[in-house]
Structure 1
Amino acid sequence: MARTYISPSKFVLGEGELKKLGEHVAGLGKKAVLIAHPEDFERVKDILDEGLKGTDYVHAAFCGESCDKEINRIVKLTEQEKADVVIGLGGGKALDTAKATGTLTKKPVIIVPTIASTDAPTSALAIIYTETGEFERYMHLPKNPDLVLVDSGVIAKAPTRFLISGMGDALATVFEARACIKANKPNMSGGMSTKAALAIAETCYATLLEDAHKAKAACDANVVTIALENIIETNILLSGLGFESSGLAAAHAVHDGLTVLEETHHYFHGEKVAFGTLVQLVLENAEEETIIEVLAFCRSLGLPVCLADLGVKELDEERLMRVATHACSDLETMDNMPFEVRPADVAAAIRAADIIGGTW
């Protein structure tokens, strides 16, 4: 099977870049539909007023859930308004909705993350949830965004929890990439991983260990530093390229399984992925040194390391098996592990990871 590597057509990161959004729209079309949650829209409205001055656009107020009903509503609006460019602004779910809308309407897509909480911005993938927030399926898209535009000044002013969540998501990248490569499983685009993709995944992890705390300090102070921009690039670009061109495995499958527990719905994607990474390491029987390093990293940033950290105070066997069974379903990426994983194995790994995170 051929090796494949995919990426957005262009990635731009820098302070003040949102003020140039209109220039980028003009290069792709005449009218845009802007998909953004009202709170995200208001948070950057002054910058948007300058960045989109003279640009014809309509704001499609995002409902907050990347579900079929919302995507279909915005597709209809895009067609009614005769928009020829789709802009997604905000967090992961708004961005996934924009990517899905662009695919269904065959329009170019500009992605503008206002937080660095996931690696969703760069990918040709949209995660579809139910209207109540449970994971439903992955929507594989024919191409990556035409532009990912990241204003580090905007992200520096967002709550630090978002940045930390993005680091939790990025944490899984190298471990899942290695698992997929060892299992000789295809990546998200259907090809085999490249050496470039693995190198990016490894750089992703190395940068987290090097710059995480310096970036957190900058975000706490709402200022842009080299370390902060390094972590923004890591959370969005390195993690995005690494997972998409190498693949996902147990960590994200466990995340998706955890979404069946209502109490986890208040926690961010990357927060659940961080615990999922510990579960994957237990499944692999990873070296204790690696588990301790990951555990220490998570604890130092306040990322979840046990079920209680995700709001799960009690987990009986019936609910645990619901999580484990979902994580091993045909829609999931658990079968990218280099050995057979059964729901009972996942349940055992969750129990063990929970004790490790709570006591080590």
Structure 2
Amino acid sequence: MANILNSPGRYVQGAGELSKLGKYAEGYGKKALILISQSGYKRIGGRVETGFEETGCSTVFDYFNGECCKTEINRLIGVMEKEGCDLVIGIGGGKILDTAKAVAYYRHTPVVICPTIASTDAPCSALSVIYTEKGVFEEYLFLPSNPDMVLMDTEVIAQSPVRLTVSGMGDALATYFEARAVLAKDALTCAGGHGTLAAHALAKLCFDTLMEEGVKAKLALEAGACTPAVEKIIEANTLLSGIGFESGGLAGAHAIHNGFTVLEECHHMYHGEKVAFGTITQLVLEDMPADELEDVIGFCIDVGLPVTLKELGVEEVTKEKIMAVAEAACAETDTLHNMPFEVTPEKVYAAIMAADAYGNYFKGM
């Protein structure tokens, strides 16, 4: 099996880049379906429309219905067919972007991804996470190619709620540890092969950047400042983690995240927040050294990521609930089986409970 690295066709990051979207887009199509939330359009829609003036690409705006599910994907395919669109542009958060990628895949068109937040590593990947209409994880849709372009306007992202960028740090936190586990198992990555040296180097750089710049970036964002630390964290959350997870592989942390989607009380938590707790749980499963575990839990506490079940929204912890999470995480098709040892629901249950205990311990120190 070959070593494979996937990446977007082009990655652009900088302040004010969203106003140039029209110029970029005309290189990919003549009529773009722009998928955006209603609130997103109110904030930046005018800026986007102005950027398409005097370009060779016209636009059709459509509001996202809130969930990356098959019903929404099929609805937007119908819009594209009716309007004659030959390009999809997703502007917003992870579920909008995943939906845009899926629609472009089924319509065989280019796709341009424009995150307005840095809350997940989804933007750069050839992957869409499909949920049910009620928000329960359903499946991964693996795509034959990555987005044609990813555009990150750091001015817009820096104005988003700080919690969203912190959530992106939680998603990125898993990248190195999952890639390390996949390498130990000699398992296949989301790119369909074995990880490359480049992918593993980017995954490690992602982790190192979080440790060095994460707290600084959070404090700067809380002060309303877009500093070099913020720029580095945006890149780590998006590009480094995006390439790192896809070409390095997924393992325990994301599978445990998927398990938590079965608990309704966790639905208000962001993807990266659940992944962060999944990362701690994976480290417990691996029986990692105490200093490594302490570093990761300490980082999560410092930036405000959840380290206990209560912080995830599970006020009443019962064996029945946590076993339901563990069993879902161990689904035959999920990535927990990329861990380099046998994993059972009973082991995952024990690791979740221990992770919660460690989190409570460190928060009480």
TM-score (norm 1): 0.99
Question: For 2:310, what is the secondary structure of its paired residue?
Answer: helix
2:2 alignment partner in structure 1: 2
Distance 1:48 1:204 in 2: 30
Deviation, 1:48, is 1.3
2:240 alignment partner in structure 1: 238
Q: Deviations over 1:124-173 (max 9, x none)?
A: 00000010111111000110000000000000100100000000000000
Deviation, 1:13, is 0.1
Bigger drift between 222-231 and 271-280 goes to: 222-231
User: 1:15 touches 1:224 (CA, 8 Å); kept in 2?
Assistant: no
Deviation, 1:315, is 2.4
1:33 alignment partner in structure 2: 33
1:213 alignment partner in structure 2: 215
Deviation, 1:218, is 2.5
Amino acid at match of 2:131: Y
Are 1:325 and 2:342 an aligned pair? no
Distance 2:192 2:45 in 1: 39
User: 1:193 touches 1:245 (CA, 8 Å); kept in 2?
Assistant: yes
User: 1:156 touches 1:218 (CA, 8 Å); kept in 2?
Assistant: no
Q: Deviations over 1:189-248 (max 9, x none)?
A: 210001110000000000001111221122223332211110000000000000000100
Q: Which structure 1 residue ranges, 4+ long, deviate > 6 Å from structure 2? A: none
Distance 1:218 1:160 in 2: 10
2:257 alignment partner in structure 1: 255
Question: For 2:123, what is the secondary structure of its paired residue?
Answer: helix
Deviation, 1:331, is 2.3
Bigger drift between 10-19 and 54-63 goes to: 54-63
2:20 alignment partner in structure 1: 20
User: 1:257 touches 1:323 (CA, 8 Å); kept in 2?
Assistant: yes
Deviation, 1:47, is 1.9
In the alignment, which of 221, 228, 231 is matched to residue 229 of structure 1?
Answer: 231
1:13-162, aligned counterparts within 5 Å?
Answer: 13-54=13-54, 55-162=57-164
* Count of matched residue positions in the alignment of Structure 1 and Structure 2: 360
Question: For 1:44, what is the secondary structure of its paired residue?
Answer: helix
Q: Deviations over 1:234-278 (max 9, x none)?
A: 000000000000100000000000000001000000000000000
Distance 1:136 1:156 in 2: 32
Q: Deviations over 1:308-351 (max 9, x none)?
A: 00110112222211111110002210000000100110001001
Stretches of structure 2 that go unaligned for 5 or more consecutive residues are none
Deviation, 1:18, is 0.4
Deviation, 1:44, is 1.2
1:11 alignment partner in structure 2: 11
Distance 2:192 2:337 in 1: 14
Distance 1:36 1:330 in 2: 34
Amino acid at match of 2:346: A
Question: For 1:312, what is the secondary structure of its paired residue?
Answer: coil
Deviation, 1:53, is 2.3
Deviation, 1:37, is 1.1
Q: Deviations over 1:102-138 (max 9, x none)?
A: 0000000000000000000000000000101111110
Amino acid at match of 2:43: R
Distance 2:249 2:349 in 1: 23
Amino acid at match of 2:42: E
Deviation, 1:39, is 1.1
Distance 1:244 1:52 in 2: 32
Distance 2:248 2:36 in 1: 30
1:303 alignment partner in structure 2: 305
Sequence identity (%): 52
